[in-house]
Structure formats: C-alpha cells, structure tokens
Chain A
Amino acid sequence: MNPTLPPGTFDDEPTQPDGVPPELGEVDRSAPPAHGEPGVAWAPTVAAPERGSAAPTEPAPAAGAATPRSGSPRDELDTILRSARALEDPRELYAMLAKTAPIALAEVACGARAPGGPTHARAALLHAEVLEKQLTARGFYPRLAELAGEAAPEVLAVAARRHPAATWIVKLSRKIEGQQAGVTHLVAAAGHPSFTQACVAHAEAGHIEGLVAAAATLGRPEPLGALLAVDPAVAARAAGLVLNTNPNANVVAWLAAGWGPEPDLLVARVVPHLRTRAAAEALLSWSRHLPHTLRMLRAVIPGMAR
C-alpha cells in the first residue's frame, strides 16, 4: 500500500516510488525542496489568480489530448484531489500528506485546483509549519485565506501568530478584517519586538480603527505614537481607551514623545473618553504640569464611580 495516501483509496494506483505527488514528476526529488527554493514544479499551479479573475478551475484537456495515462503523477494528484473534495473531514488526509507527501499537501491545501472552503483551511492550518516549507509564508497564507471562506480570520490569526514581523500581514489584514484591519495582527504581535513597527505599518496603511481597537484591547500605549502621525484626535481617543483597560499605561509619555513637550491641550482631549475613576486618577497623576488637563480631571473625577 502506498504509505502516502489514505488507506483503501489508492491501493490500486501505481505511485512514484517515494510517494511524491505526480505534479512533481519531472522534478529531481532526490532531496526535499528547501524553503523558498526556486524551481519547484508545483509552484506555478498555486499562484494566486489575477485580481478579478475567476476562481481556479479544473484545466480543460487540450484538444485531442489523450486522457492522462493511468498512474501518471498527474493521475495520482487528480485522485488525491478528488478524494479530498469528497471528504467531509479532511484532517486525516492532511495529516497523512503532511507526514509523507508535503508537496501534495500543498497542492490539496492551496494549489490551483484545491477544494478550498473552511474545513480544508482549518485542516491545512494544523500543518502550517509543513506547508510554509513548501511555499513561502507570504504565498501560502494569502492563498489559503482566499480559499478559506468563513475561516479566513483563522488563517490570519495563525499567520499573525507565526509571523508577527511580516509586512505582508498588513495587506492580508485589510483583505480579511476590513475596517478593523490590524486588530488580529497587533494582538498577536503584542509580545514581539516588532510591535511598534507593526503599529506604524498599520497606521501608514490607514488601519486606524484597527489600531484603536488593538490599543484598547491590549491596554498598550505604543499604538498612540503611530496614531498621532495620522490624527491627533484619534490618538487622544485611543489613549482614553488604553487607560480604561490599563490604568498603568503612561499614555501621556507616549503622546508627549510624539507630539511635543507641551501636550496639555492634546492630553485634555483624552479626558472625555475616560470611563473609570482608576483611569482618570492615573491620568491625574501624570498631569501635574498640564494645567488644562488638571482642571478638567478635577471637575470630572468626583462624579466618577469608584
């Protein structure tokens, strides 16, 4: 039995001796393909379609072409793809291909004739590490997201977790998250040294609401610096949300570092966004040289519930 294929499915199919999928029939497979190695035969078949083009479809046989000969590499991949399409839960197939035929796995997961859909995407994500070795991460995740349907956010989450410093995540975020672009990436990158740079990249891409949401979720002040360059009023709103989540975050320091040494009028715009007394008292503690802010806080704090 072919160890690379699901039991009972391909016993009668002649296979390559090493079980490598048929798309690679003409490739020297004496060594496994390295990450990013050029010339891997299946790469052209997984290229993302041009913008606006239809989803990949089965290629029509050329006029007069003979049916692929039985047992050819293409036959074998066709069989795998047919099998994959028929499976309600492809996880077992993916697991087997991941162990024994990772290039075939890549074809099934995100090749030009991949079945697609959320079930397949979720199965593929279980083997993200294997798949990244077959195709660059930059090629793999966007293509998988394209095929994933409702599971696209899960694709983004795995991509962001595994590649928090990757710049292509910014574009992928926009495609998947729309107006909230950046939240998943920034939350995933929060513990990574690239976090501040990721904030800047999303700000430059115009992902303002995503940055605000990430700042609020994380209670981290770094997004404020990036937001300041785009819209100081939004940065002030975000600073309020950060303080509501994390009163220990010195938002004044970040606003001043990006804005200038007299941030009083800017910091005062944070006050209307404060929702907790702890947040207001924290801001008060950093405002002793900010008279306008100080006056506003002293007016509102007594009315805020502890």
Chain B
Amino acid sequence: MRVLLVGSPGRAPFTGHFRGSVAREGAELRWAGRVRGGGTPEEGWGAAESMRDALAEVSGADRYALIDAAWVALRAVAHDDLTVLLVAKDGEGTVIAGSGLCEVRADGQPVAPPGHPLYDEPGIRERPGYLHPESPAEAYVGVPVGSRWPAGALPAACGVRTP
C-alpha cells in the first residue's frame, strides 16, 4: 500500500512534504502530508521534521486507533496549513482520514464525491471522521486544496523517484 500527496506547482514542489508509515500489532498506518508549503525549503523542512517526529511515535491496536493516535500526535505540533492524508489498515479493513484535501483517489478512482466531509480546509480536524473505501487499493493519492490531479506522470508529481 502506498499513500502519496501531489506536489505543488513551482520550483520547490515538495517544500514541507512528509511521508512515512508505522506498523503496530498487525495494523499499519501510512501518511503523506505537507506543512509550511508556502515557506522556504528550510522552513518547510523544519516543520515537516516535526511531523515526522510526532508520527513516528504513533501506536494503536487497530486501524481506528492508529488514525486517532495520528490526529493526537499531529495536534501536538499543529500548523494551520497542515494538509495530510492518513490511511490505516488491519485485518478487518481500511480507513481513510485527512485534512486540507480536495480529492483522494484509490488506484486512480475517487474515493468520495466532491463535497464529502473528507474534503476540508487545511489544519487539524477537531472531530475527525473516517472514510471506509469500498475495496482495498494499492495506492491512495491525495490532492491538496488548491491543486489539481496531475496531468503528467503520477509518481513524479508525488515526488516518487529513485536517484
């Protein structure tokens, strides 16, 4: 399973982007996010490091617990412009949560119609919800508010590369 976030237009498209995962007790959480995306690369990096530090400590017994723990961790280092896609799965299924997203696709198909509560302004959710996708997917891709689904190659647009 991969969780990706589309980069911004411009010469530093992944300023403040962070991506990672934790696996705990048979459950797995993956995330892709952006913070201080409008700042300098140094500012974005510093803020993203805070997010990585916070999310690295997340634990939970199942997919719901992992999502809840992720929100708690993010709230501790909150930034108003936080955009994040969280996907957790366990033996029972998958749940999706997020903030600052205008579109999420699972293996290329939208997981929810426009206007769905999953899509919201950037920042920390006070009462986060869960979306249950109809079927599991290999790749979940989020589009930040203000961006569009990329016209070109998806991996490059999400900063998936090998040197």
Q: Chain A residues in contact with chain B, CB under 8 A? A: 196, 200, 221, 225-226, 229, 232-233, 236, 250, 252-254, 256-262, 265-266, 269, 286, 288-289
Q: Chain B residues in contact with chain A, CB under 8 A? A: 5, 7, 11-20, 32, 40-42, 44-46, 48-49, 52, 56, 158-163
Within 8 Å CB of B20, what residues of A?
Answer: 289
Query: What distance in Å separates the Cβ of B31 from its nearest Cβ neighbour in chain A?
Result: 10
Q: Are A261 and B41 in contact (CB under 8 A)?
A: no
Which of A259, A261, A288 contacts B48 (CB under 8 A)? A261
**How many A-B Cβ pairs are below 8 Å?**
74
Q: Are A261 and B45 in contact (CB under 8 A)?
A: no
Query: What distance in Å separates the Cβ of A194 from its nearest Cβ neighbour in chain B?
Result: 13
Q: Are B11 and A261 in contact (CB under 8 A)?
A: no
Which of A232, A253, A259 contacts B42 (CB under 8 A)? A253
Known: A257-B14, A266-B163. 14 other contacts (CB 8 A): A225-B41, A232-B161, A250-B45, A253-B46, A254-B12, A254-B42, A256-B17, A257-B15, A257-B16, A260-B158, A261-B48, A262-B160, A265-B162, A265-B163
Given contact pairs A196-B11, A225-B12, A289-B49, A260 touches B161 in the complex (Cβ within 8 A): yes
Given contact pairs A256-B41, A256-B45, A262 touches B159 in the complex (Cβ within 8 A): yes
Q: Considering the chains assembled together, what is the distance between the CA atoms of A49 and B89 in angstroms?
A: 71
Within 8 Å CB of B48, what residues of A?
Answer: 256, 261
Q: Considering the chains assembled together, what is the distance between the CA atoms of A285 and B159 in angstroms?
A: 23
Q: Are A286 and B14 in contact (CB under 8 A)?
A: no
Within 8 Å CB of B19, what residues of A?
Answer: 261-262
Q: Considering the chains assembled together, what is the distance between the CA atoms of A259 and B11 in angstroms?
A: 10
Q: Considering the chains assembled together, what is the distance between the CA atoms of A262 and B20 in angstroms?
A: 9
Q: Are A256 and B49 in contact (CB under 8 A)?
A: no
